[in-house]
Structure 1
């Protein structure tokens, strides 16, 4: 039996929660032996099969994860699957997922409570898990080096873009206007300050182009404050997937200047909608995007501004990036990634049975 630690259904959706939900969705179609354990309180099922969701215990949050979840899994002799970087530190057999070490590389993006909790849980979980998952070769190298564990203990399970993100002409129409688009939570490592500076350098020669920013911060992150963003910068907050699809389709380009990403789902979503991508030459982004994006030095606002101008001014370049982006996005699939996870679970189950 497989028990999925589904505490992510109690949390706001960021890239990590999206990974967890989509891998779980595919696993439920691949395997009949899988159930989702959730704590008490409200949940968002994200369209997952409710008949496979089991309410466990009376606690919530990290206390539930460390105490009641492992007791539930132990009572069923299950392999426990964690998909969101935390899990019970004493339970075996267990497969845990570690997306990146942003909390170590850019601690200014995170609150003190979050950093303290991760410092307590993550090293122990990595040391004691039967197998480890991560989302890119870059993250595998970062995590294994920092925690002194063999890269061979990891399976790389890439993210993908949801099928709802697709080119114009299929579903929701494109948004109106000429604009650049950014999608992310505005935390320090997302580099929004330099993006706004770059747009301020770009905008005098492009007075008809806006910058639209989608996203908001969760409580885990340290709040970032920016100066006056300028009259042609619009912060849209959280938007639904249909509105986000329309924004991707209508944008002249998607700008992703992040200093550190374990993977980076938004550029793939943009590419799958046919939107050209400008991205930082940093962390996992060259691995994920290959030759399908315009890369910039994320610390150089002049370079970012220059890339904005090149893409906005050159229709042929935008068309090439659109074609290359669609091709690149096709390399990734939630079903293929879930099949990798399923094979890992079978291997851990077989090794556990052999030890009995």
Structure 2
């Protein structure tokens, strides 16, 4: 038996949950002759998950307590099978496991996170990594960071790229005069500088910000004088609403300070929207020459790129075409097969 820690099914779908969902939807029912079983807490699971998969709900707790108490008890009762942990810390003392780790922002920038979150991650992630057979991550940038930070052999860290879901595609909507950004409302997404840069632009464009606050992150303070009627916060949106916005936006901006991969610009590219992206961490690896790059630490740089694309229609058309080529580099079917092979290699 192979057990998938499916606690992510109880969470809102953001980047890491979408990664887990897309991989899990494509895993076969058996790998190396072992049945694949999905195990989650006894709470409502995601409507996005394929109910035909072998999902059972166990335990008395939820959240971290479920992961550190209920799940290890279940594993012990079932002869300590291989555990695949796609989101979160994983049972820290369980050794027969594969663990996904998408970035080390909690280590390098603890101030971006709630005190409870960053303390638990900085204490427990190193312990969990120590008791892990192998690590999977989403970019070569993060692989190098994990190797340097936690002294894990590079041969024991596997890169499996994310990809845009096939639900994100071009539709027959007329483009409208607004910039779009999609992210959690948290410090690393750099919304304050994006808003400051936007306010320096003289145009009739609006700025639409999709995302919601989460208890994981520290508070984001935006001065009232930065906000006006041209800046629209939508909160969290379901996929059908998000796809429509990607197809209506004239320009997508993702001036994040730190990313392990960064899926939203790929989703925008799949919907035919030209992108401005930060020139830092994993993003140049993922987006190559298919976007305009800005310095996320410079309001002036962000403003210049926004102004440039706003006023250069041929460049926007060119970036749409380059974006369509870029997304072909990433495919969930290929990534899931790679993940399946990693699992097969580590079955006892």
- TM category (shorter chain) comes to over 0.9
CA distance in 2 between counterparts of 1:333 and 1:8 reads 21
Whether 2:314 is the aligned partner of 1:316: answer yes
- Normalising by structure 1, report the TM-score: 0.93
Whether 2:330 is the aligned partner of 1:327: answer no
Gaps of at least 5 residues in structure 1 are none
CA distance in 2 between counterparts of 1:13 and 1:49 reads 17
**1:237-275 per-position Cα deviation (integer Å, ceiling 9, x unaligned):** 111211111111111110000010000010100001010
- SS of equivalent to 2:145: helix
Structure having the larger proportion of residues in helix: 1
Show the counterpart of 2:229. 231
Show the counterpart of 2:62. 60
Greater mean alpha carbon deviation, residues 33-42 or residues 191-200: 33-42
Show the counterpart of 1:216. 212
1:333 deviates by: 1.1
Show the counterpart of 1:191. 190
**Which one of the candidate residues 112, 121, 129 is aligned to 2:124?**
121
Matched-pair contact (CA < 8 Å) for 1:12–1:218: no
1:111 deviates by: 0.4
CA distance in 1 between counterparts of 2:11 and 2:290 reads 32
Matched-pair contact (CA < 8 Å) for 1:101–1:143: yes
Matched-pair contact (CA < 8 Å) for 1:85–1:99: no
Matched-pair contact (CA < 8 Å) for 2:197–2:299: yes
Greater mean alpha carbon deviation, residues 39-48 or residues 159-168: 39-48
Question: What pairs up with 1:65-80 in 2 under 5 angstroms?
Answer: 65-77=67-79, 78-80=81-83
CA distance in 2 between counterparts of 1:320 and 1:76 reads 55
CA distance in 1 between counterparts of 2:301 and 2:30 reads 45
Root-mean-square deviation (CA, aligned residues, Å) is 1.5
Matched-pair contact (CA < 8 Å) for 2:5–2:84: yes
Show the counterpart of 2:180. 181
CA distance in 2 between counterparts of 1:151 and 1:253 reads 38
CA distance in 1 between counterparts of 2:241 and 2:53 reads 30
- SS of equivalent to 1:252: strand
Count of residue pairs brought into register by the alignment? 343
Greater mean alpha carbon deviation, residues 279-288 or residues 99-108: 99-108
- SS of equivalent to 2:99: strand
Matched-pair contact (CA < 8 Å) for 1:2–1:81: yes
Show the counterpart of 2:84. 81
307 and 86 in structure 1: CA distance in 2 versus 1, 3 angstrom threshold: same
**1:96-123 per-position Cα deviation (integer Å, ceiling 9, x unaligned):** 0000011122222210110111122200
- SS of equivalent to 1:74: helix
CA distance in 2 between counterparts of 1:51 and 1:143 reads 32
**1:158-200 per-position Cα deviation (integer Å, ceiling 9, x unaligned):** 111111100123xxx45x6310101011211111111011001
- Normalising by structure 2, report the TM-score: 0.95
CA distance in 2 between counterparts of 1:13 and 1:179 reads 25
1:43 deviates by: 2.2
- SS of equivalent to 1:58: coil
Show the counterpart of 2:6. 6
1:26 deviates by: 0.9
- SS of equivalent to 1:47: coil
Show the counterpart of 1:296. 294
129 and 312 in structure 1: CA distance in 2 versus 1, 3 angstrom threshold: same
**1:106-144 per-position Cα deviation (integer Å, ceiling 9, x unaligned):** 222210110111122200111110010000001111122
CA distance in 2 between counterparts of 1:273 and 1:107 reads 34
Show the counterpart of 1:26. 26
Show the counterpart of 1:97. 100
- SS of equivalent to 1:335: helix
